[in-house]
Amino acid sequence: VRAAQNVLEACAQTVTMERVVFTSSVTAVVWKDDHKLVDAFDERNWSDLNLCRKRKLWHALAKTLSEKTAWALAMDRGVDMVAINAGLLTGPGLSSAHPCLKGVPEMYEHGVLVTVDADFLADAHVAAYECPTAFGRYLCFNNVVCRPEDALQFAQMLTPSAPCYPPRYTRVNEQHLSSKILRKSSDDGVFL
């Protein structure tokens, strides 16, 4: 939280600063006490801080507090800010021991487990910076983990040396995360 505060304060004092693109997380959006009350999560939702504390979801708590702090300072100091709420960044460095994975089974169960690859996320940041009409928060993901096969593939990525078992479940979890603002064009990359 302190880092977000320091960065926004520095940006507010720099006259050449055009825009801040703040990297946050989907975990700052999806943690609610009762998912049944929310039909679909989007950029307007915020994770419940008390629930994050109660369930020891420290990554989600830190991301939510940092982003809220950044927004408060940006509004107070007149800084043009856009937030990218990224899905779980997948890649070679991610392992099952990573702290941001706490709560992943529940995210899968509730249809809000999403991932993003580094290239897509980088394109989203560039688009958010370059597009003069960009504003607010943008959920950024290019893969939804909602089928048993998706979950198995995700688990194998986290623990490649583990044995491969066929999915026990056939139920597909309905997707409950929607990025209505950020879209991907097959030819043009990310656009806002």
Residue 185's pLDDT band, with cuts at 50, 70 and 90, is very low
128 within domain boundaries: yes
Which three-class secondary structure string do you get for 67-136?
HHHHHHHHHHHCCCEEEEEECEECCCCCCCCCHHHCCHHHHHHCCCCEEECHHHHHHHHHHHHHCCCCCE
Under 8 Å between Cβ of 165 and 175: no
Residue 63 burial (CB < 10 Å; 0-12/13-18/19+)? buried
* Residue 156, helix vs strand vs coil: helix
Residue 103's pLDDT band, with cuts at 50, 70 and 90, is confident
CA angle 115, 111, 164 (to 5 degrees): 65
Phi, psi of 137, deg, nearest 5: -110, 145
Residue of 32, 36, 54, 63 with catalytic role: 63
Pairing type for strands 183-185 and 189-191 reads: antiparallel
Residue 7: its pLDDT value, please?
92
Question: Residue 117 corresponds to which amino acid?
Answer: D
11 within domain boundaries: no
71 within domain boundaries: yes
| Domain that includes residue 55, residue range | 17-178
pTM, two decimal places: 0.79
Under 8 Å between Cβ of 170 and 118: no
Pairing type for strands 114-116 and 88-89 reads: parallel
Phi, psi of 82, deg, nearest 5: -130, 140
What is the domain count for the chain? 1
- For position 37, which CATH number holds? 3.40.50.720
Residue 173: its pLDDT value, please?
56
31 within domain boundaries: yes
12 within domain boundaries: no
* pLDDT tens per residue, range 32-81: 887 655 668 889 999 999 999 999 999 999 999 999 999 999 999 999 99
55 within domain boundaries: yes
138 within domain boundaries: yes
Residue 187's pLDDT band, with cuts at 50, 70 and 90, is very low
The share of the chain scoring above pLDDT 90, in percent, equals 47
Whether 63 is catalytic is yes
Inform me whether the pLDDT recorded for 148 exceeds 60.
yes
89 within domain boundaries: yes
